Amino acid sequence: MTAQPQTLQRPARTDKGADLRPKRRITGPGVMRAYTWLIILWLILPIFVMILFGFNDTSGRYNQSWEGFTLKWYGRLFDIDDLTRGLITSLVVAVVSSLAAGALGTGIGYALGRYRFRGSGSVNLIMFATISSPELVMGASLLTFFVSLGVGLGVVTLTIAHIMFSISFVATVVRARVMTLDRSIEEAAADLGATAWTTFWKITFPIILPAVFSGVLLAFALSIDDFVVSNFTAGNAVTFPLWIWGATRVGIPPQVNVMGTLIFVAGVVIAVAFNIRSRRAQRD
Amino acid sequence: MTTTPQHLAGNGRTATGDHPAIRFDGVVKNYLAHGETVAAVKRTDMEIAQGEFFSLLGPSGCGKTTTMRMIAGFEEPTAGKVYLDGRDVTGVTPNRRDINMVFQSYALFPHLNVFQNVAFGLERKKVARDEIRRRVGEILEIVSLSGMDKRAPREMSGGQQQRVALARALVNRPRALLLDEPLGALDLKLRQQMQVELKRIQREVGITFVYVTHDQGEALTMSDRIAVMNAGVIEQLGSPREIYEKPASRFVAGFIGTSNIVDGHVERIEGGLALLNYSTQDRVVCPVPGAVRRGDKLEVSVRPEKIDLHRGVPPVTATGGSVLSGIVNEVVYHGTSTNYTVATAAGADFTVFDQNAANADDLADRGDRVYLTWAPQHSYLIGV
Amino acid sequence: MSASNIPDPSLVRGLSQRRLGRRDALRMSGLSALGMALAACGVQGKGTKAPASAAPDAVQQYWSDKKQNNLVRFANWPLYMDPKQPELKAFKAKTGINFTYKEVIQEMGSWFAKVQPQLSAGQDIGYDLMVITNSFQFSQFRDSGFLAPLDHAKLPNFAKFAGDAYKKEAFDPGNQYSIPWASGITGIAYDRTKTGRDITKLADLWDPKFKGKVGMMSDVQELGNFGLMAVGANPDKSSASDWEKAAKKLQDQKDAGIVRKYYDQGYIDALGSGEVWLTQAWSGDIYQKNLSEHRDLKFVIPEEGGTIWTDNMTIPITAKNPVDAITLMDFFYEVPNAASLAEYINYVCPVPNAQAEMRKEAAKLSGEDKTDLLALASSPLVFPAQAAYANLHYYVAFESVAEQQQFQKTFDPIVLG
Amino acid sequence: MSRLKRTIAPYLLVLPGGIWLIVFFAIPMITMLSLSLQEGDIVNGYTFTGHWQTYVDALDDYRTQLIRSLIYGAIATIILIALAFPMAYWIAFYGGRRKATYLFLVLLPFFVSFVLRTISWRQILTDDGPVLSPLKSAGLVPESFHILGTPTAVIFGLVYNFLPFMVLPIYVALERIDPRVVEAARDLYADPATAFRKVVFPLALPGVFAGVLMTFVPTSSDYVNSTVLGGTDTTMIGQVIQAQYLANSDYPTASALSFVLMAVLLIGVFAYAKVLGTEDVMKVAAR
């Protein structure tokens, strides 16, 4: 009997609470959540199409309409020599340019983050200019530069160009990390008898290494995906995107979809692994 | 830790004893900021003895950290010389000075574990591997971190990190250990624990500690001697008691603990005691040196806990001492004591700590008329 | 046409190669009715007497110190050879010459822009053999002195088996610098199911009924040719005023919203996907598209005429292995090799005997393979009937760089508008 | 000695990369300017004549394309802000522990080549493709209806390809906002809309500015989208420059157009950065 008033009260209260809460959920965040997912789906749709058509059982050069499922293109991945070579060129250029840009950019980023020096403003300015210049213009100016010098275009000029546009990105990432670096850690090393050289390699570098690494990864991604600058500076070298661009005139073979899929999967795996590693490191 | 490891205590170096551990000879440090020269440390001479627990105390920006960094070698003096153990080390880089430091932020190497952190200095000195393992184990025991050598710094509490920083410096058996506000990041309870701990460790290893802090309580608790710095100048250098009881300047008096400061002209001098009168019944009595003459203007300080507070009637007992009347402005209950702010007839507001002893019934209230009394020896003449 | 009978003064003075090209073009067009089958054209001799790099002893000079190095580096267009490279493998087996084959050429303009710096610096471009189209970049290559003169003593198969038409191309009389790789016809391709009727003439490309469904080419030469033919001008005889008229005609077509887009070779995809219903097209593409996707797209040479072009094998002047290159060039003119190549690329084969070869081969096969190969061998797009040539025109021949630039400036704004 | 070392250390560190940037970024720009003032042709070579007429002619011929590019870029940027903001907002404030996952999903397209993604859209949006085909069979749109070849398709492609560049900086700016600041605004009688307008949005502005910087320049100078998805009247200046360089070998015209494009964009960018402060924008951009 005594419980009765309680049971009468309770529904009334929860009703009131339910009235307030879900209403806000549905109108605001609920709609935005659906919206966000919609946009994400939109972003992923072309990737899905690309992956799907890597399994398309098309018979000829043209891979346009769905003709059934097959795995044969995975088996014949390296059938098109030039495509394979393009991919290899892309990988080699990306590795070399990301490492070189990693080294050069780390120097700049470290100096900017660590020291105050005359001319740092100009360095910042030129970095800002390279990051914000249209790729098209960078590629075009490099082309005119090489042509004026009478330098033949090829893998070397391509690599030079990729290093050029990657440096500033690496430097920016490294600078951000160095700026948040506790200076006293370096002093502690010096205090404990380490020379400047030892301090850098034993202490500073390992600490900024994740930043350097993500800078190098960024440079690698920029390089392997680059089309615009490469189009101007590759000369008769062919990279993966350049080959695809050239092949559009006669149709993209399914191998391109397969390679695109594999690059995508590899990229995602590396990124996820890197992310999990650094997150675990943070949590520990 | 009842026995001190031989090599940590003596090491045959501190025993030489002829030279002070650290000596500043006319050291000046100027910075160039926006084209202007700013003096961080004005001409300073000082000596820190072997095995001493020495504190540099002062507010932020007083130059204490710069002083310490000049000892460590992170800053070079603009003028003057720094001696370690009688050797001129001016211009010697930090990694070549036999001195180690505990940083305010601990500055532990985040990518190295406890063992690697502590072993870092020994590795630089190319100490044999076995020796390193032994000494690191030993020092970790001293700082009570045995068995934690595989931990990463970020897996440890603030107090533990602090101990690692300490061990990392101590393991090198430096001629002196510099500590830059090492307890600043710890909470109150832990800080108090660590103060005791630090003092214990210092006693055990017998190494000269130079301790930089802005916390006067900390400095008073641990130090053998304290240098109070202000605006690039050491205002007073002495034992904690000297500094507390006999502040050399108004700054020191105010910075160390709470001081009540009154000024007034000397009415008369009697048996080494000067009398400053504010009215017929309001007077301050202070011991003075012979040089003080009648009519001189004096600044007298008295600590709040030395003062007795009487409610209502003027006291008859305090005939030979100081008496000031006033009105209670503020009463703050502190548990062990009650703090009063009293507007006195001498013109200055006085702070009085009244111990909440057995007879806690004579509490004054806001607006009450009270009399403050204290013995002549508790008055201290500033700036003598 | 009659102009060809009057000695060109500049020719007498032994002036530019370009004039010779133009003169030859005129002659060629006069003979076009017979598909240039007539050999009675004395230009060759004159051609070799042409100045500069074409000096009579140029060939001798170039080749005298060249040796076989057992390597040839081949630069070609994408998908212009079976990816398995059977012909090259056969070549290696036969001669012992190693090869590298790269599909690095994607556009004449960009190819020229890419290798020009190296060639003008006298550097090796990394290739000994390259396939270039008879567009004005061909003249740029030749006029810049970037092409090695060919020693026809080393090209016996070419002499023997090349179709007569290919032995006297307007752009390279006497094949001084090039021999054809494959040839193609530019006509109209359409999807009968979409257009609902047969397309027969250029005027269909201007039909408002197909608004937004007509594809034209972005190559100004191809585009300009169709514009010229649409206004009734013969491209290789056209004048600057014809160009203006053609440009106007094309601009109208664009302004009326008839043109969907100016395509590079991407028109194939566009036609296949229904983006366009009818489009300017190259013959081999359509054949390959039908074969690979079982489509029934039509290709037609318009009543007003189509154009014929040739992709040519050339040796860059800086080639390291020219002897190996020229050996390979000749190899492709052996009938079985030519047939094998044509089977894959489906463009006009420069070796007429390949048709018989294919039929012979088909006889050995059975089933679908047989039908396919027979169909290919009978395709007028791979082996055009003589009559088809009657309707074919050549690219506009330019007398000077300035003229070429003027042509380009006339049509550029249409494509780049 | 050590002081000297400390003074020259930053220069030694900056030098290799700095020289690289000067030689392969700054000097080429100057070379391009020089070439734009030269006359000649690719076969016979170019000589410097200070021929300003090239600029006049180039702008005369391609003014439409330049202006069209800037307009497309601006439209794309505005759409990008509108699309990205709610998304970044939701991830920043309601993403909870999955924030990183959502951001990762936004970045997924970067793992596929830019060219390939754009071509993929071509395949999807084509006239008889999976999107339009059903609509046409259902009679919802006329048979000749198409998306490809229209300005809409080009701007669609630009928005698609550069969306992550807008979402990220806005997200970073929003993520930095202390939720208590918003609560404080609510506590001080602001309704949700007002709190957003007066507190959240102003604090997110640096992110929006950085996003604009990172999207307007590449979208208005892009030529891949207009080439792949565009039609006859969607030519952007990038296409013209590309064609003049890489197909026509008309270097002076191409250089002049590039220079004009860069000047227009960089002057805009620097003015913009000057007004907003480079540091702030760079900081957000660097994240």
CATH number where A138 lies: 1.10.3720.10
Q: Determine the pLDDT at residue C343.
A: 83
C-alpha distance across the termini of chain B, in Å = 44
Is there a single domain that holds both residue A115 and residue A208?
yes
Burial of B207 (0-12, 13-18, 19+ CB in 10 A): buried
pLDDT in tens, D5-63: 667 888 999 999 999 999 999 999 999 988 888 887 777 777 788 788 889 988 888 99
Q: Which of A177, A228, A270 is nearest to D107 (CA)?
A: A270
pLDDT in tens, C186-202: 899 999 998 999 999 99
Is there a single domain that holds both residue A231 and residue A148?
yes
Residue B182 Cα distances to A93, B57, B73, B198, angstroms: 50, 13, 19, 10
Q: How far is CA C385 from the centre of its chain?
A: 18
Nearest to D41 among C254, C274, C401 (CB): C401
| Domain-embedded: residue D20 | no
Residues of B with CB under 8 A from a CB of A: 72, 74, 93-96, 99-101, 103-105, 107-111, 120-121, 124-125, 152, 154-155, 168-169, 172
Hey, how many other C-beta atoms are within 10 angstroms of the C-beta on B87?
Answer: 13
Residues B352/B358/B361/B364 CA torsion (nearest 10 deg): 0
pLDDT in tens, A227-259: 999 998 887 788 999 888 877 766 788 888 999
Interval B334-359 mean pLDDT:
84
Q: Which of B34-47 are b and which e, b meaning 16 or more Cβ less than 10 Å from the residue's Cβ?
A: eeeeeebbeebebb
pLDDT-derived band at B315 (thresholds 50, 70, 90) equals low
Is there a single domain that holds both residue B235 and residue B267?
no
Structure tokens that stand for B60 in this block: 């932020």
Cβ separation of D245 and C113 shorter than 8 Å?
yes
pLDDT in tens, C227-267: 999 998 888 888 889 999 999 999 999 999 899 988 877 78
Is there a single domain that holds both residue A118 and residue A205?
yes
Distance CA D169, CA A168 (A): 18
Residues 247-266 of D with CB under 8 A from A: 251, 254-255, 258-259, 261-262, 265-266
Chain A environment of C272 (Cβ under 8 Å)? 62, 64-65
Q: Give the nearest chain B residue to A284 (CA atoms).
A: B155
Residue-level length of chain A: 284
Does residue D217 register a pLDDT over 50?
yes
Residues of D with CB under 8 A from a CB of C: 41-44, 61-62, 64-65, 122-123, 126-129, 144, 146, 148-149, 230-233, 235, 239-240, 243, 245-250
Cβ separation of C126 and A82 shorter than 8 Å?
no
Is there a single domain that holds both residue B63 and residue B121?
yes
Distance CA A178, CA C139 (A): 57
Using a CB–CB cutoff of 8 Å, tell me whether C260 touches chain D. yes
Q: Which of B49, B40, B71 is nearest to B180 (CA)?
A: B71
Chain A environment of C102 (Cβ under 8 Å)? 81-82, 85, 238
Q: Give the nearest chain A residue to C110 (CA atoms).
A: A235
Cβ separation of A236 and C127 shorter than 8 Å?
yes
Is there a single domain that holds both residue B119 and residue B212?
yes
Residues 128-167 of C with CB under 8 A from D: 140, 143-144
What is the residue whose two structure tokens read 């039609």? D231
Is there a single domain that holds both residue B149 and residue B279?
no
Output the average pLDDT for chain B. Answer: 85
Q: Which domain range does residue A271 map to?
A: 256-284
Q: Chain A: nearest CA to D140, how far in angstroms?
A: 22
In DSSP terms, which residues pair with C348 in a beta bridge?
A: C183
pLDDT-derived band at C4 (thresholds 50, 70, 90) equals very low
Interval C193-215 mean pLDDT:
91
Burial of C319 (0-12, 13-18, 19+ CB in 10 A): buried
pTM of the model: 0.78
Chain D environment of A268 (Cβ under 8 Å)? 108, 111
Is there a single domain that holds both residue B91 and residue B198?
yes
Domain boundary among B253, B281, B316: B253
Q: Which residues contact A60 (CB under 8 A, 6 or more apart)?
A: C288, C289, C291, C292, C293
Q: Which domain range does residue D225 map to?
A: 58-286
Compute the half-sphere exposure of residue C385: CA atoms within 13 Å on the CB side of its CA.
6
Q: Give the nearest chain D residue to A138 (CA atoms).
A: D25
Is there a single domain that holds both residue B193 and residue B333?
no
Does residue B222 register a pLDDT over 80?
yes
Chain C environment of D144 (Cβ under 8 Å)? 211-213
Is there a single domain that holds both residue A265 and residue A228?
no
Q: Which of C74, C66, C72 is nearest to C95 (CA)?
A: C72
- Under 8 Å between Cβ of C196 and C223: no
Total tally of structural domains belonging to chain D:
1
Establish, for the pair of chains A and C, how many residue pairs have beta carbons separated by less than 8 Å.
103
| Domain-embedded: residue A192 | yes
Distance CA C283, CA C278 (A): 13
For residue B136, the one-letter residue type is: V
Q: Which of B145-156 are b and which e, b meaning 16 or more Cβ less than 10 Å from the residue's Cβ?
A: beebbebbbeeb
* B184: CATH: 3.40.50.300
Interval C18-43 mean pLDDT:
28
Q: Give the nearest chain C residue to A248 (CA atoms).
A: C266
Cβ separation of C417 and D233 shorter than 8 Å?
yes
| Domain-embedded: residue B266 | yes
Residues lower than pLDDT 70 in chain A = 1-28, 59-62, 64, 249-250, 281-284
Q: Give the nearest chain C residue to A60 (CA atoms).
A: C292
Interval B120-148 mean pLDDT:
90
Q: How far is CA B149 from the centre of its chain?
A: 33
Using a CB–CB cutoff of 8 Å, tell me whether D35 touches chain A. yes
Using a CB–CB cutoff of 8 Å, tell me whether A59 touches chain C. yes
- Under 8 Å between Cβ of C108 and A228: no
Q: Which domain range does residue B79 map to?
A: 6-253
For residue A251, the one-letter residue type is: G
Does residue D189 register a pLDDT over 80?
no
Is there a single domain that holds both residue A137 and residue A214?
yes
Distance CA D216, CA B100 (A): 54
* B342: CATH: 2.40.50.140
Establish, for the pair of chains C and D, how many residue pairs have beta carbons separated by less than 8 Å.
82
Does residue C16 register a pLDDT over 80?
no
Residues A125/A126/A127/A132 CA torsion (nearest 10 deg): 90
Is there a single domain that holds both residue A262 and residue A241?
no
Distance CA B162, CA B157 (A): 9
Interval B376-382 mean pLDDT:
87
Pairing of strands B79-84, B87-88: antiparallel
Structure tokens that stand for C242 in this block: 């014809």
Chain A environment of C103 (Cβ under 8 Å)? 82, 238, 243, 246
Q: Which of A181, A192, A213 to mutate to test the interface with B (most CBs of B within 10 A)?
A: A192
Total tally of structural domains belonging to chain B:
2
Compute the half-sphere exposure of residue C216: CA atoms within 13 Å on the CB side of its CA.
33
Chain B environment of A194 (Cβ under 8 Å)? 95, 120, 124
Hey, how many other C-beta atoms are within 10 angstroms of the C-beta on D130?
Answer: 13
| Domains within chain C, CATH numbers bracketed | 22-183+308-368 (3.40.190.10), 186-307+402-416 (3.40.190.10)
Structure tokens that stand for B295 in this block: 């009519």
pLDDT in tens, C162-171: 988 788 777 8
Is there a single domain that holds both residue B67 and residue B198?
yes
* D207: CATH: 1.10.3720.10
Is there a single domain that holds both residue A141 and residue A282?
no
Structure tokens that stand for C270 in this block: 């566009």
Q: Specify the higher pLDDT residue, D116 or C417.
A: D116
Distance CA A85, CA C389 (A): 40
Give the helix/strand (H/E) hosting B54: strand B53-57
Using the Cα atoms of residue D199, residue D202, residue D206 and residue D209 in order, give the sign of their dihedral. positive
Q: Determine the pLDDT at residue C229.
A: 92
In DSSP terms, which residues pair with C280 in a beta bridge?
A: C188
Is there a single domain that holds both residue B29 and residue B158?
yes
Cβ separation of C85 and A81 shorter than 8 Å?
yes
Q: State the DSSP code for D110.
A: G
Chain C environment of D126 (Cβ under 8 Å)? 270, 273-275
Q: Determine the pLDDT at residue A15.
A: 43
Chain A environment of C123 (Cβ under 8 Å)? 152
Residue-level length of chain B: 384
| Domain-embedded: residue A17 | no
Distance CA B178, CA C160 (A): 96
Domain boundary among B199, B224, B253: B253
Q: Determine the pLDDT at residue D2.
A: 53
User: DSSP string spanning C257-309?
Assistant: T-EEEEESTTHHHHHHTTS-SEEEEEHHHHHHHHHHHT--EEEE--TT-EEEE
Q: Determine the pLDDT at residue B12.
A: 37
Interval B76-87 mean pLDDT:
90
Using the Cα atoms of residue C234, residue C239, residue C245 and residue C250 in order, give the sign of their dihedral. positive
Q: Which of A116, A186, A191, A197 to mutate to test the interface with B (most CBs of B within 10 A)?
A: A191
| Domain-embedded: residue B1 | no
Q: Which of B89, B99, B120 to mutate to test the interface with A (most CBs of A within 10 A)?
A: B120
Is there a single domain that holds both residue A234 and residue A95?
yes
Distance CA A49, CA A46 (A): 5
Cβ separation of B94 and A191 shorter than 8 Å?
yes
Residue D220 Cα distances to A30, A176, A260, D225, D236, angstroms: 35, 29, 27, 11, 8
Is there a single domain that holds both residue A105 and residue A212?
yes
Q: State the DSSP code for B151.
A: -
User: DSSP string spanning A115-128?
Assistant: ---TTHHHHHHHHH
Query: Which has the minimum average pLDDT: B162-176, D134-148, D271-285?
Result: D271-285
| Domain-embedded: residue A71 | no
Is there a single domain that holds both residue B204 and residue B352?
no
Distance CA A174, CA A215 (A): 7
Is there a single domain that holds both residue B314 and residue B181?
no
Does residue C303 register a pLDDT over 80?
yes
Pairing of strands C278-282, B268-270: unpaired
Query: Which has the minimum average pLDDT: B149-153, B210-214, C374-378?
Result: C374-378
Cβ separation of D232 and C260 shorter than 8 Å?
yes
Is there a single domain that holds both residue A198 and residue A284?
no
Q: Give the nearest chain D residue to A110 (CA atoms).
A: D13
Cβ separation of D31 and A148 shorter than 8 Å?
yes
Using a CB–CB cutoff of 8 Å, tell me whether A151 touches chain C. yes
D253 in helix, strand or coil? Answer: helix
Q: Determine the pLDDT at residue A25.
A: 43
Q: Determine the pLDDT at residue D122.
A: 86
Using a CB–CB cutoff of 8 Å, tell me whether C104 touches chain A. yes
Chain C environment of D250 (Cβ under 8 Å)? 405
Is there a single domain that holds both residue B74 and residue B134?
yes
Q: Chain A: nearest CA to D64, how far in angstroms?
A: 19
* B and A in touch (3+ CB pairs within 8 angstroms): yes
Does residue D112 register a pLDDT over 80?
yes
Is there a single domain that holds both residue A150 and residue A273?
no
Cβ separation of C293 and A60 shorter than 8 Å?
yes
| Domain-embedded: residue A199 | yes
Q: Determine the pLDDT at residue C365.
A: 84
C-alpha distance across the termini of chain A, in Å = 55
Cβ separation of C275 and D126 shorter than 8 Å?
yes
- Under 8 Å between Cβ of D158 and D79: no
Q: Which of D54, D141, D232 to mutate to test the interface with C (most CBs of C within 10 A)?
A: D232
Nearest to D247 among C107, C211, C261 (CB): C107
Q: How far is CA A16 from the centre of its chain?
A: 49
Is there a single domain that holds both residue A103 and residue A225?
yes
Q: State the DSSP code for A203.
A: I
Distance CA B151, CA B134 (A): 18
